[in-house]
Amino acid sequence: MTNPITERIAQHYSELTQGNRRLADYLLVNPDKILMLSTNEIAEACDVSKASVSRFIRKLGYQDHISLRNELLEERDKGTPMALSNEVEVDFSSEIRALESLLDHIQESDMGAITERLSHSARIKIIGYRNSYPVAMHFRQQLVQGRPGVELLPLPGQTIGEDIASIGEDDFVVVIGIRRRVKGFESLLSALPQQRTLLITDQTGLKFKPLVAHTLICPMSNSSPLDSYAVPMALISYLSNRVFNHLGKQAVENTEFVAQTYTQLGEIE
């Protein structure tokens, strides 16, 4: 999805005055400045009056600067890359804060029941689309080290209807849906066995909690243009190690068998 202000400017550009086009050109190149600068600062940057900026914003269909800013913030919450300030964090402070929040959330969750399901269900079906797909793939790769019967869905180029229809009574489903989820995500969750489904999502996915038995929230920061997936990956590591430790000898034997297969096939250095 493109930044909504760029779409509106494109629709009205031919109707704009020379002064408004100067504003339009500036914001087309720097759309995030709406979030960073005041109306007066934008006016100074474009060498126009504050009133001109206000008229330009109304021309685009917004009531005022605040309503435009709120729309951009909503898009950022959905995962659209967008800077919120001129200051860029050069350390991992936001990730550390998010990991601390994740730890608090884990301590309040029923991790015993989730671990039991991940360890002893006949098959584990892991579903992930878009940016959640590599997280789902990594989770699958971690779990298969300790137990068999872990599948990643959907297969490339395939729809998922057949896979949902084949979910057995002893299977457990993990759905990963972080930011900018695919259209129909709610319908997907509704089609899954509610009492045997875990949803891993961010804070914007709390609305789906009634559709599943278990929900784990990965706090995602909005302070940077691009999302960090440190928290989801940390959660995957945590869950995988809980399952491995829970299975004990069975997991060790499975890992040894996987290693032997690697050696036999010559796949790993």
Domains identified in the chain and CATH numbers: 4-78 (1.10.10.10), 93-265 (3.40.50.10490)
At 130-153, the pLDDT tens digits run 889 999 999 999 999 999 999 999
When pLDDT is averaged across residues 215-221 and rounded to a whole number, the result is 83
Most confidently modeled range among 62-66, 73-77, 104-108, 143-147: 143-147
What pLDDT does residue 91 have?
61
* Token pair recorded at residue 208: 């789906």
When pLDDT is averaged across residues 177-191 and rounded to a whole number, the result is 90
At 16-42, the pLDDT tens digits run 888 888 888 777 767 777 778 888 988
When pLDDT is averaged across residues 208-212 and rounded to a whole number, the result is 92
When pLDDT is averaged across residues 84-98 and rounded to a whole number, the result is 63
Please write down the HEC assignment for all residues of 155-214. Answer: CCCCCCHHHHHCCCCCCEEEEEECCCCCCCHHHHHHHCCHHHEEEEECHHHHHHHHHCCE
* Token pair recorded at residue 141: 């790769």
Average pLDDT, the chain: 84
Phi-psi sector, 225: left (phi>0), alpha (psi -120 to 50), beta: alpha
When pLDDT is averaged across residues 111-136 and rounded to a whole number, the result is 94
Q: How confident is the model at residue 81 (pLDDT cuts 50, 70, 90)?
A: low
Q: How confident is the model at residue 248 (pLDDT cuts 50, 70, 90)?
A: very high
Residue 45 has pLDDT above 90, yes or no: no
* Token pair recorded at residue 23: 């504003």
* pTM recorded for the entire structure: 0.66
The Cα 56–Cα 51 span in angstroms is: 9
